[in-house]
Amino acid sequence: MANLKELEKIVGVDNVYLDKAHLIAYSYDATRSSFKPDAVVFPRDEKDVSEVLKFCNRNRVPIVPRGAGSGFTGGALPSEGGIVLAFEKHMNRILEIDMENMVAIVQPGVINMDLQKEVESKGLFYPPDPASENYSTIGGNVSENAGGMRATKYGITKDFVMALRAVLPNGEVIRAGKRTIKDVAGYNVVGTLVGSEGTLAVITEVTLKLLSKPKLSKTAMGIFPDVESAMRSVFKTMASGVTPVAMEFLDALTIRAVEEKYKIGLPKNAGGILVTDVDGDLEINLEKDLELIEAKFRENGAFDFKIAKDEAEAKDIWFARRNASQAISIYGSKKINEDVTVPRSKLPETLKKFGEVGEKYGIQIPCFGHSGDGNIHTNVMVDGKDPKAVEIGYKAIEEIFQITVDMGGTLSGEHGIGLAKAPYMKMAFTDAEMELFRSMKKAFDPNNILNPNKMGL
């Protein structure tokens, strides 16, 4: 290992930490796995990032970019040791909000919710809203191509990234994209870097598209006898011409868990619940959207439909969905959670098959998530103290992935691959496709220093 003290000359003595406390603190992410780095470095600016990468490339030191460490797949874990490059201390500023062109230029350490609040104070809107929006960073959102509940109408992070500045592993700074609406000059490097999980370059600045903030929104909830009926309602509604902001679902196991834990009055006999939002600038348009949504829900078996009268009722309706993840802990001490995504029309069959996997192994697999874009959060619940139960849980996960791929779906809709899903990449991609990914990685990072051992590469 190179003399890491040399880094102090680059970023200053106050921005390099080799002590045990920092090394432990930056060894974790939301997966609860742990890999201790050799150093934690806080770059002050893009020049620092460039010089640190030159040092790492010259000395073959692994380096892992990190935002808030809130990822669920180990994408920011230093699995090969080396340096964690952390952005929350210095590179966390909103650099510009361009009202005329409706774009924001931000550093990677900016918290998602901080950006949302800032642009909304100016009448603008940044839609991507991952569940971690209160603490996850824009750099992490871009690296993982994060989604959120509003993705049904507005799309995900990639749909809002117009341009980037980034540093290659050899320390060279590149610009990709423009703040123009159209740009077809050269390869789509922005599209390549978004979702690349920090394996190709280190993002130092992001230009994001903004929208006008809708003036009005309404929330509603449909209750169904079974989750398959709810899922049929999803794609039937979307095909009818209305595009909700969000279309979230809870299955029977999740409904029972939420009601048992919080006692908020959910019907325990319900097999599925859909929570939906619509927005716009005219009340009459929102009312028409909700009329059409209710008609489609009832055509497909909904036995109740409730529209929130005010913001307080809307929050009450959303409470069940927002607290689903915490509630399902009643089914087991260990949650093996995945975020598979299938075409919307395949949702009913997919969830039916997931239920059959649970029956096969005698375990509970509560599901909830973003049904409007086909994104299922499937949660295999087991006793974390029982190694055999955990082993069975991972067998169930493997079958869930295979079902997903067979349905024409993908291993991840928003969490990424990282370390956790790397062993399953061969299920979703051919040898030729994996070799193409490796070739791209080698073209950007020939010495394999940047976030190595991720995505099965």
Q: Do residues 305 and 345 both lie within one domain?
A: no
**Domain final position from 148, 180, 212:** 212
- This prediction has a pTM of 0.95
Q: Do residues 316 and 351 both lie within one domain?
A: no
Domain carrying residue 402: 332-428
Q: Do residues 317 and 344 both lie within one domain?
A: no
**Domain final position from 149, 179, 212:** 212
Domain count, the chain: 4
Q: Do residues 11 and 31 both lie within one domain?
A: yes
Domain membership of residue 337 (yes or no) is: yes
Domain membership of residue 446 (yes or no) is: no
Q: What is the pLDDT of residue 1?
A: 62
pLDDT band at 395 (very low <50, low <70, confident <90, very high): very high
pLDDT by residue (tens digit) across 196-229? 999 999 999 999 999 999 999 999 999 999 999 9
Amino acid in the structure at residue 198: G
The DSSP-derived string for 221-274 is: EEEESSHHHHHHHHHHHHHTT---SEEEEEEHHHHHHHHHHH-----TT-SEEE
Percent of the chain with pLDDT over 70: 100
Domain membership of residue 436 (yes or no) is: no
Domain membership of residue 163 (yes or no) is: yes
Domain membership of residue 440 (yes or no) is: no
Q: What is the pLDDT of residue 404?
A: 98
Domain membership of residue 281 (yes or no) is: yes
pLDDT by residue (tens digit) across 42-93? 999 999 999 999 999 999 999 999 999 999 999 999 999 999 999 999 999 9
Q: Do residues 337 and 414 both lie within one domain?
A: yes
Mean pLDDT of the chain: 96
Tokens standing for 301? Answer: 């078996």
- Give the domain CATH number at 59: 3.30.43.10
Domain membership of residue 438 (yes or no) is: no
pLDDT by residue (tens digit) across 245-262? 999 999 999 999 999 999
* Residue 167 contacts residue 141 (beta carbons within 8 Å): no
The DSSP-derived string for 316-353 is: HHHHHHHTHHHHGGGG-SEEEEEEEE--GGGHHHHHHH
Q: Do residues 143 and 196 both lie within one domain?
A: yes
Domain membership of residue 373 (yes or no) is: yes
Q: Do residues 108 and 50 both lie within one domain?
A: no
Q: What is the pLDDT of residue 290?
A: 98
pLDDT by residue (tens digit) across 320-368? 999 999 999 999 999 999 999 999 999 999 999 999 999 999 999 999 9
**Domain final position from 325, 356, 382:** 325
Q: What is the pLDDT of residue 347?
A: 97
